[in-house]
A = this chain, B = another copy of it.
């Protein structure tokens, strides 16, 4: 077939509909021609199925790639993703993100598309607000939003992204109020061994340092404090009953850890939803989260890693890769959480094979 390069499309004349569209769903049929994107054109040229001319001269593949690269941002990265999916049997159409992709075995006209795919170079940045808009649009259309990240060596990693809720099933138990605790540098100590055991064994708060003391993290202490369960004293003051009010405690915690207010908001939401939340330090995330734990002895594998981010966070893709890969390697789901008004929203990002 013979085509003509026209801006950022290639027009194929008579017969193209039957030969090119009907056999592979390339291009968009117009009244008397078939319109191909640059990506489709390069692919069909590479396959030897079309010739493309400009100003009366045939373009070889190298020429056509040069022109495409100049006429379209990110051409090479998008082409790598297109070619990969196409050669593995997927039908692809242009879409609101880069590509609408049909499910395996499905095809345009008879099946709805399943995925919205966005192709990114690992060097691009991905602002959270932009990603959210895309995921919401995709959700509204009942599609799955997929990020296809092309690394420096042209390997592709696919990530599925979805907004989700977080809901746990841990029992709530009541405690004696006013448990005695002290702030010591960047952690809090509960002194009463009896209360220590209840807090730790039944609700999984803190870690026992010995038979006498339980260490709470600043986050845990703040949450228990605002719920009226513990009373925190300041160990830096000589008067033993120098009680720290919740706002003063939160202020001091924010000096030690500038992310404290954000992390506390996420922690509070997860605990309020019945999940058990522990530090994720060993996994490089803020929290590891359990859907259900009824006692320490029955503590299972945590299902989630949750990382709190600002609502204008900008994802750096190598860092995202590291977080998701690590979660994957320990069989957990990677969740990013941020504040949207008075609510916390959750985005799950996972590697998928396509």
Which A residues are closer than 8 A to B by beta carbons? 46, 61-62, 65-66, 69-70, 74-77, 80, 83, 121-123, 149, 151-155, 157, 182, 184-187, 189, 191, 206-207, 209-210, 212, 215, 217-219, 235-236, 256-257, 278-279, 281-285, 317-319, 321-323, 325-326, 329-330
Contact = CB atoms under 8 A, between A and B. Distances in A.
A184 to B, nearest CB: 5
Contacts of A152: 186-187, 217-219, 279, 281
A303 to B, nearest CB: 17
B76 A319 contact: no
B46 A212 contact: yes
Nearest to A151: B281
A185 B326 contact: no
A151 B279 contact: yes
B186 A121 contact: yes
Given A69-B235, A122-B281, A236-B70, A154 B187 contact: yes
B284 A209 contact: no
B185 A75 contact: yes
Contacts of A210: 46, 83
Among A151, A155, A326, max chain B CB count under 10 A is at A326
A32 to B, nearest CB: 32
Contacts of A185: 69, 74-77, 121
A318 B155 contact: no
B187 A321 contact: no
Given A69-B185, A153-B278, A325-B326, 18 more contacts: A69-B184, A70-B235, A76-B187, A77-B186, A83-B209, A149-B281, A152-B219, A153-B207, A281-B317, A281-B318, A281-B321, A282-B321, A283-B322, A284-B319, A285-B318, A322-B322, A322-B326, A326-B326
